[in-house]
């Protein structure tokens, strides 16, 4: 598993996300981009790619997401999806635990 640093062009939020080709688009110069989980503006790749075991990198991704903004929503697994599962009694986990399991199970598929 690999993760990379991102920096938001608008709010300057810095976070880490896993390298998933299907979730990234390229800007006009061909560089990978992603949407900021805090303000929704397109972000640019910060230049660092890390490799490690799944548990460490998932925790690194979640720590970076919630570090500055504890109410942030993950771009692939938004809070609204978690709230839907809670309302339907499909989960009793908190958002972070639910998010960790979604990301970990994605790797197994």
Confidence (pTM): 0.58
* CA distances (Å), origin 27, targets 12, 45, 56: 18, 11, 29
Average pLDDT value for residue range 17-42: 63
Question: For residues 97 and 8, what is the distance between their CA atoms, to the nearest angstrom?
Answer: 25
Predicted pLDDT of residue 65: 79
pLDDT tens digits for 42-84? 666 665 555 656 777 788 778 877 887 888 888 888 999 999 9
| Whole-angstrom distance, CA of residue 88 vs CA of residue 48 | 39
Helical spans, DSSP H, in the chain: 54-66, 79-87, 95-108
pLDDT at 85: 96
Domains of the chain, residue spans = 2-108
Enter the tokens of residue 82.
């978690």
Chain segment 4-28, per-residue pLDDT in tens: 777 777 777 777 776 655 444 555 5
């Amino acid at each position: 598993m690999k993760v990379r640093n991102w920096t938001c062009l608008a709010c300057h939020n810095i976070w880490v996300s896993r390298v998933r080709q299907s979730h990234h688009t390229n800007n006009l110069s061909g560089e990978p981009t992603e949407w900021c989980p805090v303000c929704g503006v397109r972000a640019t790749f910060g230049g660092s790619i890390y490799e490690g075991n799944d548990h460490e990198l998932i925790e690194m991704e979640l720590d970076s997401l919630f570090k500055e903004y504890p109410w942030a929503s993950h771009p692939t697994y938004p809070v609204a999806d978690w709230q839907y599962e809670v309302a339907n009694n499909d989960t009793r986990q908190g958002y972070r635990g639910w998010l960790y399991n979604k990301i970990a199970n994605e790797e197994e598929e």
